Chain A
Amino acid sequence: MTSAAAVAASELRFEDLVREHERMVFSIAYRFLQNPASAEEVAQDVFLELFRALSKLESRAHVVFWLRRVACHRSIDYARRHKNAAAEVSWDEMPEPSHRDPHAHSASDPMLAKRLRQVIAALPEKMRLVVILRYQEDAGLEEIAQTMRIPLNTVKSTLHRAHAILREKIGAAIGEANV
């Protein structure tokens, strides 16, 4: 294969991967940073890294794992670099990007969903990511541990603490909404 053909082949693959995984990468960044502009910046950087690292990735499953890991770490890096800017955002003003996944069920109480997202946004960084990976990405505990490069027991205890916080903050609303 000539170098031009090799480049063409890898570019085609890259475009496919961008379109296939843009929701996943953007969503991880958005749920973590709670700002669409910041999430786009992080998500673009993640895909640019993928573009540079593509030849080292072995399979589509490896790409997914790699993208999640890089998205998580870049989101944390971004939040730490822009700590002051992030603190000034008013969550009440943040519109929720539309999502129309035909296989998903919408929350019947938009206020409850919004409240949950706000509580999650206020969790400590690593706890927030564990919750996002668990409930948005449906990742198993072992997978979360590998993605975040933390011990499995740490994932378990972090998730346990997150549940306690969420129950405390949201438990009454869920009981009353009867959704």
Chain B
Amino acid sequence: MSDRLERELKKALQRVEPPAGFAERVLARAAREEAKSAQPRAWFRWFGMSGLRWAVACALCLALAGSAVLYRHQRQEKGEQAKEQVMLALQITSSKLRIASESVQQISGPEQPVRSEEP
């Protein structure tokens, strides 16, 4: 396999950063799992009919909170995508300007003859 292709593959497949806050979300999930497995079951004994109403109220609150979290998550995701689009656009622009800049520098160097194209 050509060295060139290998180099390009390594460049193209560089590791990428996970979205902001990834580690925190993992740790939060692990903490919840740890808390869940440690929770005593005794509270089931006094969970009577009034508990059912509370459960419904809690479920509604969780759903609302979940929607807010989802909205924030989606907004974060959209923002990250917009950011990546900006960086990609500027990277492409930068690469083309670099080529132009290098060509101009090569042409305008004092030791080089004046030419309209690179030899």
Contact = CB atoms under 8 A, between A and B. Distances in A.
A and B assemble together: yes
A170 B7 CA distance: 13
Interface string A156-174: 0000000100110011001
A170 B8 CA distance: 10
B25 to A, nearest CB: 7
Given A18-B27, A48-B30, A98-B87, A174 B5 contact: yes
B12 interface: yes
Contacts of B8: 107, 112-113, 116, 170, 174, 179
Interface residues of A, number: 56
A52 B36 CA distance: 13
A8 to B, nearest CB: 11
Interface stretch (B15-23, B49-57, B103-111): B15-23
Contacts of A37: 77
Nearest to A47: B26
Nearest to B82: A95
B22 A136 contact: no
A136 B13 contact: yes
A19 B23 contact: yes
A163 B9 CA distance: 10
A162 to B, nearest CB: 9
A27 B95 contact: no
B4 A174 contact: yes
Interface string B82-98: 01110110011001000
B72 interface: no
Contacts of A101: 14-15
Contacts of B26: 18, 22, 43-44, 47-48
Interface string A21-58: 01110110011000011011001100110011000000
B67 interface: no
A110 B92 contact: yes
A2 interface: no
Nearest to A39: B18
A107 to B, nearest CB: 4
5 contacts: A97-B80, A131-B9, A167-B5, A174-B2, A174-B5
